[in-house]
Structure 1
Amino acid sequence: MKHVSILVPAGDAVVGSIEGPHKVLSQVNDLLAGAGQPPAFQIELVGLTKHKTFNRGLFTLHAHRTIDEDFRTDLIIIPAPHGDLAEAVALNHDLIAWIAGQHAHGAEVASLCLGAFLLAATGLMDGRQCATHWLGAPQFAAMYPAVHLVAEQVITDEQGLYSSGGAYSYLNLVLYLVEKFVSRDMAVCCAKVFQIDIGRRSQSPFVIFRGQKDHDDEPIKKAQEFIEQHFAEKLSVDELAAQSCLSRRNFERRFKKATSNSVAEYVQRVKIEAAKMSLETSRENVSEVMYSVGYSDTKAFRTLFKRITGVSPLAYRERYSRKSLPLAA
């Protein structure tokens, strides 16, 4: 039986990312008991204190153990902190050290959503792939440059160090762990019980591109704003550099440093974000949307759209159109 420690962190946290894995893993034990088999997991909440309130006192969690107790665990699950992420890391200094110590004794570690910030703070993810919520990706990249951030992925597995995408996609990682430690059949059964799309591996369709402007390079910031206002036009790097009174080479270097995107990538992301909005809100066909954001090659547009979002333009519209469809009679 695998001992699982679901952490109860200091500061505020997303309570669902504590209760959720506890519920799924408990369901596994219940299903096994119904089949006359022993439980797969011993599940405990582990915190800095025995009692912790969240969401301004609305929820209170009672930990089974504190990190001051002398015990070993097999799997640590780090929930998502809520609020100021740098502050969350500072508040959980002792918990982060405990995670690293348990890993040194053989424990595996899984972060859920923004829990990646606490996992990365251990140093264990340096040089490894890590996922997190796409909203936190820019700050994560700035705080942990040694970690290989894969913001589009839902699950990463780095030899016993796991991470997941944002919000409720953490349940995909929990199912992945069920499959790994129990069986594929059990993971599929849990997916049906909780109605989770077990096959999802990308969070790209959910990403809303917001150009990184949290920097002090004013000429680059103005170039970003120009791109966002004139995305339907044909934009050249030379013209953008000239507007910024910079050489092309210097402009491209500073743009990449400030935004984490090349100029071409940034223009593409802005165009595709505009196309996504049109597909969500308008009745224009795909070709009309394509022309409205400045593309004329249908194949190139569809290829780029799918590379960035993970789905075709038509599939995106079918999934996210804000024009509600009547239920079938």
Structure 2
Amino acid sequence: MANEFLVNKGKQPLFKVQLVGIDKEPQVYDSFFRVHPDLTIEDSFKTDLIIIPAVNGDWKQVIEINRDFYPWINKQYHNGGEVASLCVGTFLLASTGLLEGKKCATHWLAEHAFRQMFPEAILVSEKIITDEKGIYCSGGANSFWNLLIYILEKYTDRELSILAAKYFEIEIDRYSQSSFVMFRGQKEHEDEPVRKAQEFIESNFQEKISVDQLSDLFAVGRRSFERRFKKATSNTITEYIQRVKIEAAKKNLETTRKNISEIMFEVGYTDSKAFRDVFRKITGMTPIDYRNKYNKQMVTY
């Protein structure tokens, strides 16, 4: 469509989009349709931009069956091409080694798995778009539209990106996926005291819980407990407590007409400024803005 927009403005089309495969065999997608590559990685050509799509399935298996792409992607990048990954396509991009020491984004649901598999990458989990040295990443699911609009502006201009955003009804300049995150404490680990501490926090979030209280309760030294908790959950103990409380507050804001103060007290906060500051830090929105966006009962048609 960008090419069509350019032609309508009396300009030459800019983009030539082709599908590249490891070989020429068509790939069947979940028994629904076949994808026919235009080129293979064995063909001799240079590209300006590689877009790695989102992927499905077990991460390790997906990474393995796509392993032949990684040297080709590296070669294209080092020859001046740029690389973009959409959603969990970041797992494939990280497998090339190109994300070492660089900021990246992926779907919020895959955050813990990504951190475990690629600790050398700098995952900015709340971001919708990252852009570092010709390497782009997008957040989860439909965030890929925002990355495409962003790239379109870099390759053309602001006017064309706005036109595309209006045509496809995309909310332009959206930077955070924080408001979409549904916190589910990472429990796929083998540290039993940490798992019990998580369960305690989730069952008692209405109370004031301290790190010392938890370390005493589970008979683990504070420094050791904090280190183990962070390693197992990708959150500090304080962050975990805050996220559990704010997740409970979000559900109240989505489904009830309780006022902000009532909800604040119910999730264990007594300081309204502290509650609002933590809520904004985690969701990127104020409690009122969050309610206005997600509570259907509060909407007037």
Interval of TM-score (by shorter of Structure 1 and Structure 2): over 0.9
Q: 1:47 corresponds to which residue?
A: 21
Q: 1:298 corresponds to which residue?
A: 272
Pair 1:140-2:114 in alignment: yes
Structure 1 distance, partners of 2:150, 2:77, is 20
Please tell me the residue identity of whatever aligns with 2:116: A
* Aligned partners of 2:111 and 2:125 also within 8 Å: yes
1:325 to partner: Cα distance? 3.8
Structure 2 distance, partners of 1:324, 1:169, is 26
Pair 1:187-2:161 in alignment: yes
Pair 1:221-2:178 in alignment: no
1:301 to partner: Cα distance? 0.7
1:243 to partner: Cα distance? 1.1
Aligned residues: 300
Pair 1:118-2:92 in alignment: yes
Give the secondary-structure state (helix, strand or coil) at the position aligned to 1:127: coil
Q: 1:288 corresponds to which residue?
A: 262
Structure 2 distance, partners of 1:228, 1:194, is 41
Which of 69, 73, 76 is the matching residue for 1:95? 69
How high is the TM-score relative to the length of structure 2?
0.97
Identity of aligned residues (%): 52
Measured against aligned partners, the alpha-carbon deviations of 1:171-224 in whole angstroms (never above 9, x if no partner) come to: 101000000010000000000000001120000000011111111000110000
Identify unmatched segments of 5+ residues in structure 2: none
Please tell me the residue identity of whatever aligns with 1:272: I
Q: 2:288 corresponds to which residue?
A: 314
* Aligned partners of 2:292 and 2:298 also within 8 Å: no
Identify unmatched segments of 5+ residues in structure 1: 1-26
Structure 2 distance, partners of 1:76, 1:183, is 20
Please tell me the residue identity of whatever aligns with 1:28: A
* Aligned partners of 2:87 and 2:137 also within 8 Å: yes
Pair 1:231-2:205 in alignment: yes
Structure 1 distance, partners of 2:147, 2:299, is 32
Q: 1:258 corresponds to which residue?
A: 232
1:322 to partner: Cα distance? 4.4
Please tell me the residue identity of whatever aligns with 2:159: D
Please tell me the residue identity of whatever aligns with 1:297: D
1:323 to partner: Cα distance? 3.1
Q: 2:152 corresponds to which residue?
A: 178
Please tell me the residue identity of whatever aligns with 1:52: Q
1:49 to partner: Cα distance? 3.3
More deviation in 35-44 or 317-326? 317-326
Give the secondary-structure state (helix, strand or coil) at the position aligned to 1:109: strand
